[in-house]
Chain A
Amino acid sequence: MTEDISKSSNFTDPGMPGMVGDWASDKQAFDMPWGKLMMWIFLLSDTFIFSVFLTAYMNVRISATDAWPNSSEVFALTIGGVTLPLLLIAIMTFVLITSSGTMAMAVNFAYRGDRRTTALLMAATALLGASFVGMQAFEWTNLIVHEGVRPWGNPLGAAQFGSIFFMVTGFHGLHVSIGVIYLAIVSFKVARGDYEKKGYAIVEITGLYWHFVDLVWVFIFAFFYLW
């Protein structure tokens, strides 16, 4: 009997019959370490949090009667007399994508058992993340000190701009900051050899979180800065 159950779903059948088999057997339904599944479930819940924030932003922007500040001009940087729209935001985007790339490579090297390269790539990811937070701090300072943007109003247009901007990018920045700490800890433990027995699924789990942070930025970049 036990043999039949283990045979009925060994996570090999593809497609819909495979999914029914995964769920129908009296055993683990998902073919992965529990930590990875829990990270996915957490990320799904986080998807809802950010979606609700961005939906709130949409609602507030539609209902505002004053003109919405032109993000292309608000976030422009002037370098050597040339004003470039969204330059800092573009650099932040490239930094975050690069960090996602180094993270993906770290996961790859972790499963190959190359501890040193994994730890180095994760440390590089953490550094890129930290520089992202730094640029965001610069951007916030610029908005608060020079543009006079406050959560309750601003000289550029609709008063709702400040509150929704600080909430959405602040919450994302918090995620990046936590991710940097998370990466630093796991990178250190990888280098020390803590996962030699347990296996390197932890690097993939950390990677999932980090790619999610990048994913959220894709949506913020599109809806907040470009729209």
Chain B
Amino acid sequence: MSSTTGQEHPIGIYLKIWLLLFVLSACSYMVDFYGAQGYLRWSLILIFMFLKAGFIVAIFMHLSWERLALKYVLLVPPIAILVLISLMSIEGEYTNLTRHVFFER
């Protein structure tokens, strides 16, 4: 079709993102190495995870240069997964509770 020239960007941006992903991975490794615990650990893990995932999708997979039509196709459906996660965490807590009640009678 018309403008299927593909994605062309300066090579420097890939090297920068590459380096950034290295640093972020090192940071998330440090979370475990220094043994951060509790909410600090979980929030740091999630922050580094979402930053890494975001850079991979936006830059390496070029999503930030794609048309809005594609962005919505890819980013809206996963909202259903958030619903599943919340339902399953409630379910898991319930199963855990029933097991404790049943096995520790």
A contact residues around B56 at 8 Å (CB): 100, 211, 214-215, 218
A contact residues around B99 at 8 Å (CB): 63, 65
* Interface residue tally for chain A (C-beta within 8 Å): 67
* Interface residue tally for chain B (C-beta within 8 Å): 60
- CB proximity to A under 8 Å, residues B36-91: 41-42, 45-46, 48-49, 52-53, 56-57, 59-62, 66-70, 72-74, 77-78, 81, 84-85, 88-89, 91
State whether B49 touches A218 (Cβ < 8 A).
yes
Cα of A99 to Cα of B35 in the assembled complex, Å:
28
State whether B18 touches A101 (Cβ < 8 A).
yes
State whether B18 touches A86 (Cβ < 8 A).
no
Q: How far is the CB of B18 from chain A (nearest CB, A)?
A: 4
State whether A101 touches B14 (Cβ < 8 A).
yes
A79 touches B (CB below 8 Å):
no
Cα of A219 to Cα of B28 in the assembled complex, Å:
12
A contact residues around B60 at 8 Å (CB): 100, 103-104, 207, 211, 214
* Contact surface of B with A, Cβ cutoff 8 Å: 1-9, 11, 14-15, 17-18, 21-22, 25, 28-29, 31-33, 35, 41-42, 45-46, 48-49, 52-53, 56-57, 59-62, 66-70, 72-74, 77-78, 81, 84-85, 88-89, 91-93, 95-96, 99-100, 103
- CB proximity to B under 8 Å, residues A138-176: none
- CB proximity to B under 8 Å, residues A198-227: 199-201, 204, 207-208, 211-212, 214-215, 218-219, 221-222, 225-227
Q: How far is the CB of A135 from chain B (nearest CB, A)?
A: 15
Q: How far is the CB of B93 from chain A (nearest CB, A)?
A: 6
State whether B33 touches A85 (Cβ < 8 A).
yes
Majority secondary structure, B binding face? helix
Q: Mark A1-27, 1 if CB is under 8 A from B, else 0.
A: 000000000110011101100110000
A181 touches B (CB below 8 Å):
no
Q: Which partner residue on chain B sits nearest A86 by CB separation?
A: B32
For this complex, 13 residue pairs linking A to B, each with C-beta atoms less than 8 Å apart, are A30-B69, A31-B4, A55-B88, A58-B88, A58-B92, A65-B103, A86-B32, A94-B22, A111-B5, A212-B61, A215-B57, A219-B53, A222-B28
State whether A111 touches B6 (Cβ < 8 A).
yes
Majority secondary structure, A binding face? helix
7 closest residue pairs by CB, A with B: A62-B92, A63-B95, A101-B18, A222-B49, A19-B68, A59-B92, A104-B14
* Contact surface of A with B, Cβ cutoff 8 Å: 10-11, 14-16, 18-19, 22-23, 28-33, 37, 40-41, 44, 47-48, 51-52, 55-56, 58-65, 72, 85-86, 90, 93-94, 97-98, 100-101, 103-105, 107-108, 111-112, 199-201, 204, 207-208, 211-212, 214-215, 218-219, 221-222, 225-227
